[in-house]
Structure 1
Amino acid sequence: MSGIEALADHKRRRIEELIARTADAGGVSLVRDAGRRLLRNPTAIVGGTIIVLFLIVAIFAPLVAPHDPVQRFPELIKDLTVDTIPGATAGHPLGSDPLGRDFASRMIFGARQTLFVGVLATLIGLLLGVLLGAVAGAVGGWIDVLIMRFTDVMLALPSLLLAITLVALASRSTQWTVIIAVAVVNVPIFARLLRGSMLAQRGSDHVLAARALGVKPRNIVLRHMLPNSLTAVIVQATLTFAVAILDAAALSFLGLGDPDINRAEWGLMLGVDGVRYFEVRPELAYFPALAIIVVALGFTLLGEAIREALDPKNRR
């Protein structure tokens, strides 16, 4: 008996050591492990830095911008001609736009407008996509078939072409028509992704256990299947935000966005001023285009890094 007791005591001490080691390491949950790998991932750091700077500029635009974005300055207007648009001068680091307004201030306020359009378009598309995907994945049957065929039709069309079609159907192009068009384009992406994740959850152990215990189907869907299926959708939302910015900028560039020339928005600045006056002052196109590319790149880098960090196959 003493040998058996000694062996049991040795195993008990080993288990206690493992528990203590795990506690000292801070746990091994997927979220914490993903967070640690994100902090060590140069791609995530670069993408996160770009996004943080973009958010700071957008949120605090009235404090960061040196001037009112719609104010016309006499010192800039007097130098405006058909073939000349003033460049950098004292108090106006990026010079003037074609109407004698401070171009740097309009670029800064353009970040706020781009953030507003991108966030709303992504959130609306996410909510509608989650609703359709959850219904399709939870109910199944002919409802699932109907919803998925509808999303297949939408995915069969190029996203930008579909957005252009939706905006063209509106009686008058506004900022909200752009937001709704970009949101609708992203709905089938979220719907199919969530539906696939929920179908994978149907045969999982915790769902089968909940059914065996007699948990109501509605509670199984809302408390077990849906929460465990949202991770991939949230990661996709980060990537979709970059696409939403590009699509909104493309619509504005094509003249289908907000017609208000006083509103500072990068896509509108690129399409209305940048192309029209490209030979006179190409910087009017370079700066908005560069800003759109950099911000979209930041969200893409961070989204890909989060996807890799949350992938269980990448855990070591």
Structure 2
Amino acid sequence: MTEPTTQAGTPAPRRKDERPDRGNVTRLGDRKKARLEELAQASAGKGGVSLLRDALRRLRRNPAAIVGATIIALFVLVAIFAPLIAPHDPVQRFDELTSRLSADTIPGPSDGFPLGSDELGRDLLSRLIYGSRQTLFVGVFATLIGLAIGVLLGAIAGAFGGWVDNILMRVTDVMLALPALLLAITLVALASRSSQWTVILAVAIVNVPVFARLLRGSMLAQRESDHVLAARALGVKKRSIVLRHMLPNAMTAVIVQATLTLSVAIIEAASLSFLGLGDPDRDRAEWGAMLGDAGVRYFEVRPELAYYPALAIIVVALGFTLLGEAMREALDPKNRR
């Protein structure tokens, strides 16, 4: 059966009440069905990709994440194996170095001492290597303590809401209104005697509002999500909804923030030590204390005593920042490519 044509020889437009050719519709449906079956068979062996696996795949392709992870890995390895890497005891004073010390002279690099001496005749390289252990210890513990307290407060505020949420968030607002370093200095000054743990607790408390605010906002967004509403409709207890549904899904942003906070904690701890509010034991190698002593007293004599610990602090903080920002982009669904 030929299709009607116009005088110009082109196919005549089909009328609205005219049905399309059933054979063409069947062939079109068969082609669509075959294409769907082909796509299903192609993806059957691959399976679903989890958010974590997808994030790891994108992290491996991110140059910033690779650089940050490399810096952090080297930093951790140096801190762990410091006794094996350091050429000398960091508290030992060497006669060949102390004999050349004077009010205007601090020995520079020499045989057996690649970076020279500090102001007391100790090996500077060994103190830098051992200082990584102290810096890692303070930064990690300050972040973990702040994370634990912040998660607890944020979970309570996000789960209960109402007057509990108002009280906790107003307290965090007051803490956030104060400059972080000024608040840390105030907390350390309130202690009867400064020590390593006063610095850790001060830095941890300063970072508590950040974690609390972030987790509380994430949990409020989870309260109206479909899976939480479905759990409520099924009669699941509120405690189970909070612990099994809301909290795990809200922790991703907090974990990423913890990576960024590590760099901030290292800088804040170094700042307190620089101001003389850190560990009073000067034999214990710590980058902030080394920077403070060299920058205030011996910068004109030998500025390298300040350059080396400052550079170490900057590089390590940069590593955590690069990795944290890359993790944030990898875990954000809006940034998926």
Aligned Cα root-mean-square deviation (Å): 2.0
Kept after mapping to 1: 8 A contact 2:294/2:303? no
- Tell which structure's C-alpha radius of gyration is larger: 2
Paired position in structure 1 for 2:272? 251
Deviation, structure 1 residue 5: 11
Deviation, structure 1 residue 234: 0.2
- The partner residue of 1:64 within 85, 98, 108 is 85
> The residue matched to 1:280 in structure 2 has which SS?
coil
Kept after mapping to 1: 8 A contact 2:199/2:272? yes
- The partner residue of 1:130 within 145, 151, 154 is 151
Alpha-carbon distance between aligned partners in 2 of 1:19 and 1:184, rounded to the nearest angstrom: 53
Matched, 1:220 2:241: yes
Unaligned stretches of 5+ residues in structure 2: 1-23
> The residue matched to 1:275 in structure 2 has which SS?
helix
Paired position in structure 2 for 1:236? 257
Alpha-carbon distance between aligned partners in 2 of 1:93 and 1:79, rounded to the nearest angstrom: 16
Kept after mapping to 2: 8 A contact 1:129/1:189? yes
Equivalent residue runs for 1:149-164 within 5 Å: 149-164=170-185
Deviation, structure 1 residue 36: 1.2
Paired position in structure 2 for 1:188? 209
User: What CA deviation, in whole Å up to 9, does each residue of 1:138-191 have, x standing for no partner?
Assistant: 011100000000000000000000000000000111000000000000000000
Alpha-carbon distance between aligned partners in 2 of 1:117 and 1:169, rounded to the nearest angstrom: 19
Alpha-carbon distance between aligned partners in 1 of 2:60 and 2:189, rounded to the nearest angstrom: 44
Equivalent residue runs for 1:32-47 within 5 Å: 32-47=53-68
Normalising by structure 2, we get a TM-score of 0.89
Deviation, structure 1 residue 13: 6.1
Alpha-carbon distance between aligned partners in 2 of 1:79 and 1:23, rounded to the nearest angstrom: 74
Alpha-carbon distance between aligned partners in 1 of 2:331 and 2:85, rounded to the nearest angstrom: 36
Normalising by structure 1, we get a TM-score of 0.95
Deviation, structure 1 residue 27: 3.5
Kept after mapping to 2: 8 A contact 1:269/1:285? yes
Deviation, structure 1 residue 4: 11
Alpha-carbon distance between aligned partners in 1 of 2:65 and 2:108, rounded to the nearest angstrom: 36
Aligned length: 315
Deviation, structure 1 residue 11: 6.8
The residue identity in structure 1 corresponding to 2:113 is: H
Equivalent residue runs for 1:16-55 within 5 Å: 17-22=38-43, 25=46, 27-55=48-76
User: What CA deviation, in whole Å up to 9, does each residue of 1:201-258 have, x standing for no partner?
Assistant: 0011110111111110000000000000000000000000000000000000001111
Kept after mapping to 2: 8 A contact 1:22/1:28? no
Kept after mapping to 2: 8 A contact 1:44/1:305? yes
Sequence identity (%)? 77
